[in-house]
Every structure is written in structure tokens, then in C-alpha cells.
Amino acid sequence: MAGELDRLEAVLGYRFSDRTLLERALTHPSHAYEATPGAQADNQRLEFLGDAVLGLLASEHLIRCHPEWREGRLSAFKNYLVSAPHLARIARRMGLGEHLRLGRGEELSGGRDKAGLLADALEAVLAAIYLDGGLEAARAFAERHLFEERPASEPGSDWINYKGALQETARELNLPAPRYAVVAEQGPPHARRFTVEVRLGADWSARGEGASKKAAGQQAARTMLMRLLSERP
């Protein structure tokens, strides 16, 4: 176990003074219950704290880096930074799943690659770092791993590949793959405006406008992504 934690700490870029915090952050309730029925030695309380710490750090990061952004744009990017699909992608990149302590049933059902489980575990790890090293340590970890993609300040920024993010989010939510269609073109040849619609099956649709089909498609994907993140559990 110690060797595994050494490798994980190297990936995290943080060495714990109290490794029991890291061990708890990696312990899914299914494992804790099988080991000691009725016990609370799992990562749920840390995940609760990590969610709050992440929200604070994401808000602080965006306010500091983009003083010109209005509340709506700040909220949209914060929603993305704290979303389960985003956190799960980072957890997969870290290989966090291989270090989780799971119960037998969760192990057999593919728990090491479940988006929600990975996102919760990453929030629990953030909370463990916060409790072990304080807010500065948690901030350094978040800046290094969770906020590493830096948005440009222009409203038309391509900081996020919204089409790619939407496709992965739809897959993780077991929704149909996004389908795009140009539904309108307006304006003279030198100043065309395009409207693109994206659909996820029969129930979800959104539109976006832009000076190119690509820009309109990105805007449609962004609108759809924010809807999914705010309306889906």
C-alpha cells in the first residue's frame, strides 16, 4: 500500500504528513461497509468538504484571472470547472481509479472508471490536501491539475472545445451522440451569420450563432453543455 501511495503522491505533486487522510479519500463507501459494516471510514465526508473547497478555489481563480468577465460568464466557466465530467477526465489522466479502495460489487461493475465515482474521489483528495496542508496547498494542487487550461479573456475564446466536451459528457450520461445541423444563414457574403442546432436524441436541443459554421456549432455545444450540467443530476 505504501508503494502505491508513494506513486500517487508523485502524480498529485503533494506529500501528505498524515497519510490516513489520503487513504480515506480513496475509500469508497462500498469498501468501508464491507470491511466494517456500519462504519463511516469512507470518503463521503471528505467529498462534501472538497466540493466546497473546489467551488471557492474555482471562483477565486476566475475572478483573479479575468476581472473583466461578468457574472454570467464566470458562472458558466465555474460550472464547467466543478462539473463531474471535467473532474472525471482529470482523475482518469492521473490514474486515480487504480488507487481506489472499492467493495467487491463496485469493483465488478467497473467502478474504477465511473465518472461520478472518480469525480467524488478527486474532490475527496482535494479536501484531504486541504486538511493536511491548508488552503495554500489545496490552491496549488487545484491550479496545477484542475485549472491548468487557461481561458483567453476574449468572449469568443476557444479555451474549451465545447463540441468535444459535449460529446464526452453525453457519453458519460448515457445520452445519444450530438448531431449538428445548419438551420439558418443570414447576411451578405462578407458578413454571414450562421445558426447551428445541436440535438441529443429527441429530448435535448440547443442553438448557437456565429460568423462561421464552426463558431456557431461551438456556441450551440456550449449552450447544450451548460444545460446538461445544470439540469442533469
Residues forming the active site: 51, 123
Measure CA 194 to chain center.
30
Cβ contact 183:197 at 8 Å: yes
Which amino acid, one-letter code, is at 71? E
Burial class (CB in 10 A: 0-12, 13-18, 19+), 233: exposed
Q: For residue 200, what are the CA distances in angstroms to 116, 166, 171, 175?
A: 21, 10, 11, 7
Cα separation of 206 and 116, whole Å? 25
Helix (H) or strand (E) holding 204: strand 204-210
Task: For residue 176, give the DSSP letter.
Answer: P
